[in-house]
Chains A and B, each alone.
Chain A
């Protein structure tokens, strides 16, 4: 009897094409649009392309393939896949699941903001003070702290985002995630292409592109620039926190995963480049309109999206079109990423507790939505988001990635097995070099980044927030997800769940079928 015969149907993508769209949808997120352009600009401009490409090839793609290999070989959610890889590895999967739950809670808020701004673009509701409008009229942000004063203009869109996303999740892997991705990703690409074309025709666009691509070669001698490149690739590819493991478990067993991985990796980076061109063309226009240099207006993150872009929209010819395209793109990119992190949690809950798709979606989605609305739909939402995002990225995603890579390579010794699996049907053969990159080079670089982050955050409290906020929502939350993972991993699996590596049985079945 094969393992697949004993288990509840988990669902699957109908084809490799759908899987690739879903994986691109997960990787291409808000960070591609609002983080990459500024990181590149700040770290050597055109010269940054060199460490960026090195990081993509030596760390990003190998790590992505590692995630694919784990999910595809062990055919389960992150905890089940790790459990099947090694009996002591399950907690790593739950650590990733807990991180994804936290990300989903705050990520939904940014999508809700972007959705509102899509409509604000129509009449440029921010007037001539986008920053004042964002923090005042729109978010109604008070002093840093945790407040329960709801902001209806944020809370209601957040409710709508959660309703829409939960419908997608309830529909399942193919009908929900697969179909959404197959529709949203081409629309996102088209939307962004139109945005870039519009931005390139703005006066001053060339100055923006010059600022972004003019190479500062001496930057290549700085460690920080290389660290920034590896960090950008790592955070941008959705690797190391369960998404790619989960998605890969929904793909047919004899699928070329290495070829698929290259498509996803290059599509993600190709989109980042497109975003860089669009964003800096627009910033070039903004600098020209303000009679200043690009250096004065270049920014990233929330400041870029909700302060700089509204200013650009107000000044630019066809600004309304640019606004709708930009914020619409943020919504599309955000939704496909949000459903991917939610799927990590839903898939794990389904596997562990043998719940139906609807049951697991509700068991995960309703608490996440409530927490999201209570914590992010209030006057303190922007502070909660800022702190949680900062800490969970660094001491959640980055830490679990380093720990899992080191444990899988040096303690559980599973990289050779995963490599053999990927090479079986892969169109791009992985040599011993891949194991070296996964087991030594990539974790060492990530460890270096992590150590720098720990030192920085201990020496200088993040953004001068009160210590109790950083202690609870920052360090405390990052620690709590580890504790939660250890506890849940002690809960026994249901009797019907096979904890064996499914590969030997599947290969035996193939022999019989021949």
Chain B
């Protein structure tokens, strides 16, 4: 592979897979439950058949 191709492949990997890693890290951080937050099924209800 040419140097240019290797560099661009690495750039794509760093941005896309690194971006995914950061995004996952961001949502995995513990955050306090917002006041008034309810259980999800209490909001939308169990599905009727």
Q: Residues of A with Cβ closer than 8 Å to B?
A: 4, 8-16, 45-47, 49, 53, 75, 172-174, 206, 209-210, 212-215, 250-254, 256, 259-260, 262-263, 265-267, 269-270, 272-273, 277, 356-358, 425, 427-428, 507, 509-511, 513-514
Contacts and interface: CB of A to CB of B under 8 A. Distances in A.
A245 to B, nearest CB: 15
Interface string B1-36: 110111111011101110110011011010101111
Given A210-B1, A215-B4, A49 B44 contact: no
13 contacts: A4-B43, A11-B46, A46-B4, A46-B7, A212-B5, A214-B4, A251-B40, A254-B33, A254-B34, A263-B23, A269-B16, A273-B12, A425-B34
B19 to A, nearest CB: 4
Interface of chain B: mostly helix, strand, loop or mixed: helix
Contact of A263 (B4, B17, B24, B31): B24
By size class, the interface of chain B is: 35 or more
Contacts of B31: 256, 427
Contact of B9 (A4, A213, A267, A270): A213
Contacts of B4: 46, 213-215
A213 B6 contact: yes
B27 A259 contact: yes
A504 to B, nearest CB: 13
Interface of chain A: mostly helix, strand, loop or mixed: helix
Interface of B: 1-2, 4-9, 11-13, 15-17, 19-20, 23-24, 26-27, 29, 31, 33-41, 43-49
B44 A11 contact: yes
Residue of B8, B24, B45 with most chain A CB atoms under a 10 A cut-off: B8
B34 to A, nearest CB: 4
Contacts of A8: 48
A401 to B, nearest CB: 23
A174 B31 CA distance: 24
A49 B36 contact: no
The 5 closest A-B pairs by CB, nearest first: A46-B8, A510-B36, A9-B45, A11-B47, A252-B40
A270 B1 contact: no
Nearest to B10: A213
A174 to B, nearest CB: 7
Contacts of A256: 27, 31
